[in-house]
Amino acid sequence: MLRKTLGLRFGDLDGEFETPADLNTRMIGDEAPLGSCVERTVPKCVALFVVGAVMLLEGCASHRDAAPPAGPATEFSLVPGQTVVGAVGVYVTRDDDTLLDIARRYDLGYTQLVAANPGIDPWLPGAGRRIALPSQYLLPEGPRRGIVINLVQQRLFYFPPDGRTVETYPIGVAVQGSSTPLGTTHVVAKQVHPTWYPPPSIRKEQPDLPQRVPPGPDNPLGDYALVLGWAGYLIHGTNKPDGVGRNSSHGCLRLYPEDIERLFKEVPVSTPVRVVNEEVQAAWIGTELYVAIYPNKDQAEQIDNNKPITSAVPPGLKRRLAAEAGRDRLDRVDWRAAEKAGRERAGIPTRVTVPVFASAEGAQ
């Protein structure tokens, strides 16, 4: 069976798209030695073995997709105490669509989109398939300042100084055997058309690499780079966009070219950067507790290598939910629903509380 080749087409998507009304989407230094950033070769065929529950919102208005520029940057307004942004949309496929195309078109990561659509052939989904667009996000815990990155979620959040909005972008993260530091740092420099200096570790893997890769189509850093306080680590663009939303780097964090261009213009030097690795996110939305659980690094690797994922509930799930519920609301937690979400790891916020009226009846 003929499969699509990675990276062949991103801007010619033609299909039908449905979106809920509350999905707020907008279209959108000096040279220094830079190392430890390089793309790996991504397998051409990726299997879909993540089991997940898909939230398809009703009441969507369908319209002909006019094929705007690929990769719209996503920005949401914020109010104090808000814990979630966005909503899940639905895209109706045409014959030549692939999930790789759709992911970039709607500023999603590839693994993110695959996890939300179990049972869909990512390369030949066929015409008329309803694809969930998982553009709903629980906001990361902790200070909402500057850049916050959740590695396992393969996603970056940027909180501008005014505190009124948040932007979020999919990212490519480190492959197995490589890593990105956890903790806090800041942006120390910005570079347009950066030159890449392959470090010894990468030159050992690829001895034919030159000592210096100038700006251009062969440069894995793309056109823009934010230099971090951790030596050798960058947030940058890429010359291989199919690696975004996957385990694809040696530790740097890469964005779609159109996303890094926008982020680069908005982020000043000295912006704080906080990196976490949270498989489980939980937050109250109104009177209900929601959880979002992401494929871990091993499972993301299994997806990328055409293998079934190992079903495993995150070890700290119950402890995390118990802490979020507290004594007063612990009896409302639906532990079966929580375990199901933990095994499916669809990455979509899922309610894990028993409705108030049902909880009250059970107490009688």
Rounded distance, CA 343 to CA 339, Å? Answer: 6
Measured CA to CA, the distance from residue 53 to residue 222 in angstroms comes to 35
Q: Pick the catalytic residue: 45, 186, 236, 250?
A: 236
Q: Which long-range contacts (CB under 8 A, 24 or more apart) does 116-119 make?
A: 116/52, 116/54, 116/88, 116/346, 116/347, 116/348, 117/48, 117/52, 117/54, 118/48, 118/49, 118/50, 118/51, 118/52, 118/54, 118/344, 118/346, 119/48
Which are the contacts of 140, defined by CB distance < 8 A and separation ≥ 6?
A: 148, 150, 157, 276, 278, 281
Q: Is 204 helix (H, G, I), strand (E, B) or coil?
A: helix
Active site residue 236: yes
Whether 252 is a known active-site residue: answer yes
Computed from CA positions of residues 64, 66, 70, 75, in that sequence, does the dihedral angle turn out positive or negative? negative
Record the tokens describing residue 250, joined without a space: 């040696």
Q: Which positions are catalytic?
A: 236, 252
